[in-house]
Amino acid sequence: MPFEHSWTQVANVIFVEQPLFTGYSLSGLDEDSYTDDLINADRLVTFVRRWLERFPEYASSDLYLGGESCK
């Protein structure tokens, strides 16, 4: 039984590693090893759209995006 005051009662979090080949993210296509900010943004938008298509129950929830960079 979940803790009744847990943040998971009111929020969901998805961590997306970008660009490809960082952490555990992989691709079987050699051309995916080339990337830039525009390609990364396009891939993230594609991911979010496809994720919401697969899990439409989250489509009405607020969406907040955050990022981190080592640069």
Q: How far apart are CA 49 and CA 55, in angstroms?
A: 10
User: pLDDT tens for residues 11-49?
Assistant: 888 888 888 777 787 788 888 888 888 998 898 999 999
Number of structural domains, the chain? 1
63 lies in a domain?
Answer: no
36 lies in a domain?
Answer: yes
Residues noted as catalytic? 69
5 lies in a domain?
Answer: no
* C-alpha to C-alpha distances, 36 to 39, 42, 55, nearest whole angstrom: 5, 10, 28
23 lies in a domain?
Answer: yes
* Per-residue model confidence (pLDDT) at position 71: 60
3 lies in a domain?
Answer: no
* Per-residue model confidence (pLDDT) at position 38: 92
Give the domain range for residue 46: 16-56
Name residue 34's amino acid: Y
Name the residue with higher pLDDT: 68 or 2.
68
* Per-residue model confidence (pLDDT) at position 45: 93
2 lies in a domain?
Answer: no
